[in-house]
Amino acid sequence: MTDGAIDPEAGLPWKRFNPLMLMVHPLRELIRYLPVLLIALIAGAAGGEPWWVYALSALGIVFGILRFFTTTYRLTPTHVQVRSGVLNRRTLSVPRDRIRSVDVDSTLLHRIFGLAIVKVGTGASHGQDELEFNAVALRDVPALRSELLRTAPPAAESSEPDNLSHWQPGWVRYAPLTLSGVASIFAVVAFLFQVQFFEGGLVTRLPIVQQAIGFVSHLPVLTTALWGAAGLVVVASAVAMVRYALSYGGFGIHRVDATTLHINHGLLRTRQITLDETRLRGVQLSEPLSLRAVGAASAHAIMTGLGRQRGGVALIAPPGPRDEAVRIAAYVLGSAEPLEADLIQHGPRARRRRFTRAATFAGILALGALVLQLVGIVGPSIWWAFVVIVPASALLAVDRYRGLGHRLLPGLLVARSGSLNRRRTVLATEGIIGWTIRRTFFQRRAGLATLIATTAAGRHRYTIPDLPAGDVWPLIGAVSLRDYARKA
């Protein structure tokens, strides 16, 4: 993708997008200003009247209207071009032979007006902008997708089953374990704190907030803490389940042809992703500790050409039963062996390093507790917390070591690490374009090293941490020799 006015066929006219975007663009800009509008409402309830909030909102609506009139596109025999910008005019041009994928995204606003955003993936680096058609009528999406991908060779017919997996409503029970609800609550709390300090105690001046503070202040501290924790769990779980259903509801993955998979998910905001398996460079199985405890996992495909917004990975199995995630990942990969095979552990030095880190963490907490006790902020009862902290740190160290390992299979490099967020990465060795060996001061003293495989796919860097230093170069040599033998 290049930035600049590339005009190979000056005679072709520029076209505008669907005029219904005159409704969508202003509404989207208004939604962006929703936080400051909430500030205005809260300020009005507390006796203030920040007029500038309404001025900014009106400016956003005008800007949204101008975006429609200043955005045009055209498809030439050699390029796809989009010209946009209100103050800073810019033309994004993509050679048609560089198009790797065409994905469809439809937000709730777009769906209300029968529109969708068509995004063109080119395999460019993550620092480049992504070309998108915002917006196209839903009925015109199939024709546009076919036109954009017309240079792709026709795929052979496939005898595989069409539907490979679909979402089960029962999977929503895994949502509270993803901690997305807690993240949403923290985002709301952070916003309220910003509002609080923005207008000098705006939130606490509200009558309902003052009444709640007065009620809580008369309760015992332990009672408040217990009810607060219970309320947080209930609210966070409910929010997580709603987010999960909205994000992954209607999930389905099916085969289009011999080399193409189609993935769709989402209720209010629908997303459709087309995966060209010729660009597949591996899969990643994610098993956070909370999901692993109940036998759940999620899976992503490591691809080239997906664009920077998805980081080169595509969801192929949402958080759900581990067996289902492994089944889909094995189907996409072509084998289940890399996902279930035993890995080579990294030896006693790597295990000792994990216990050292756990002990260091507990020691820092103990030092902090001692300082707080000396200044009179907490009492001696704080040390009871270490009855939980010390064993938990030791168990975490054990689990981190058990999750550490690697293995080299024909054409595949398997690496696994982590405990709180454990990932097993299966990377095609033919996609590895370089290696980085990193050794910190403490790793050098322990005789360990971190090996980083560089690839053009996915997140570009996949690590094997705390590998015995003597095993680094033999592993690199084995990968190179196997690739050379396979190509020969």
Q: Name the DSSP class of 344.
A: B
pLDDT grade, residue 353 (50/70/90)? very high
Least confident range from 52-61, 248-257, 269-278, 352-361: namely 52-61
Assess whether pLDDT exceeds 50 at residue 5. Answer: no
pLDDT grade, residue 466 (50/70/90)? very high
The residues spanned by each domain of the chain are 2-148, 171-248, 252-345+404-487, 347-401
Token pair, residue 24, equals 């969508």
- Residue 102 CA to residue 116 CA, distance in Å, equals 12
Q: Report pLDDT digits (tens) over 321-348.
A: 999 999 999 999 988 999 999 999 999 9
Least confident range from 65-79, 203-217, 319-333, 357-371: namely 203-217
Q: Name the residue with higher pLDDT: 212 or 160.
A: 212
pLDDT grade, residue 96 (50/70/90)? confident
pLDDT grade, residue 34 (50/70/90)? low
**Highest-scoring range by mean pLDDT, 101-105, 143-147, 218-222, 361-365:** 361-365
Residue pair 113/125 in contact by the 8 Å Cβ criterion:
no
If one counts every other C-beta atom within 10 angstroms of the C-beta of residue 274, the result is 19
- Residue 108 CA to residue 264 CA, distance in Å, equals 15
On the 0-12 / 13-18 / 19+ scale of CB atoms within 10 A, 271 is buried
Residues in a beta bridge with 428: 412
Amino acid at 103: D
What is the DSSP secondary-structure string of 283-305? EEEEEEHHHHTTTEEEEEEEESS
**Highest-scoring range by mean pLDDT, 49-58, 94-103, 121-130, 354-363:** 354-363
Q: Report pLDDT digits (tens) over 390-404.
A: 999 999 999 999 999
Q: Comparing C-alpha atoms, which of 143, 120, 111 is closest to residue 24?
A: 111
pLDDT grade, residue 126 (50/70/90)? very low
On the 0-12 / 13-18 / 19+ scale of CB atoms within 10 A, 269 is middle
Q: pTM for the complete prediction?
A: 0.77
pLDDT grade, residue 271 (50/70/90)? confident
Q: Name the residue with higher pLDDT: 83 or 484.
A: 83
Q: Residues 9-22: what's their mean pLDDT?
A: 76
Q: Report pLDDT digits (tens) over 131-173.
A: 788 878 888 888 887 777 664 444 444 444 467 888 888 899 9
pLDDT grade, residue 21 (50/70/90)? confident
